Amino acid sequence: MDLDYVIERMAANAGIFESLAQGLTTEQASWKPAPDKWSILEVVNHLYDEEREDFRQRLQLVLTNASLPWPPIAPQEWVTARAYSERELGQSVVNFLSEREKSLTWLRSLRSPKLENRHEREAGSLSAGDLLASWLAHDFLHIRQLSRLHWEYLTANANPFQTDYAGPWKES
């Protein structure tokens, strides 16, 4: 895996996340397509917590001492336990971007990281390379999610107009 590629994509993705969260009303930032779905505000706060408590922290552990236990995480529970929906979007974006910059600085400091180092866990073995690739993949999943939230918000609020002419939203 090309570490420079991952770093550059993660840096570019930070700008994409920032753009997808700009210019939103409080109502749009908190809007959900269904009660069991996340809002844009909740996604941004999830990204912030994952950046500092999951991917960077766990990758550091696997690279330095793969046998150490991982601190527990609970991303689904954090949405309500940490009251993501009560936070302010602008500050939430700033928080995430600050943590992303810390991650990028750390990743750029790595010299020949042993991406083959493996951490054994109940759910199976993961290498540092698996974590690094998953970190970037996590970005892409949430970019897709944020884009979909924008699309769903538009289609739900365009009444009396329709978005059919744009084409259907299809996951391929």
pLDDT, one tens digit for every residue, the chain (172 residues): 899 999 999 999 999 999 999 999 999 999 999 999 999 999 999 999 999 999 999 999 999 999 999 999 999 999 999 999 999 999 999 999 999 999 999 999 999 999 999 999 888 899 999 999 999 999 999 999 999 999 999 999 999 999 999 998 887 5
Q: Phi, psi (5° rounding) for residue 31?
A: -65, 140
- Look up tokens 């590629």; give the residue: 5
- What's the pTM? 0.95
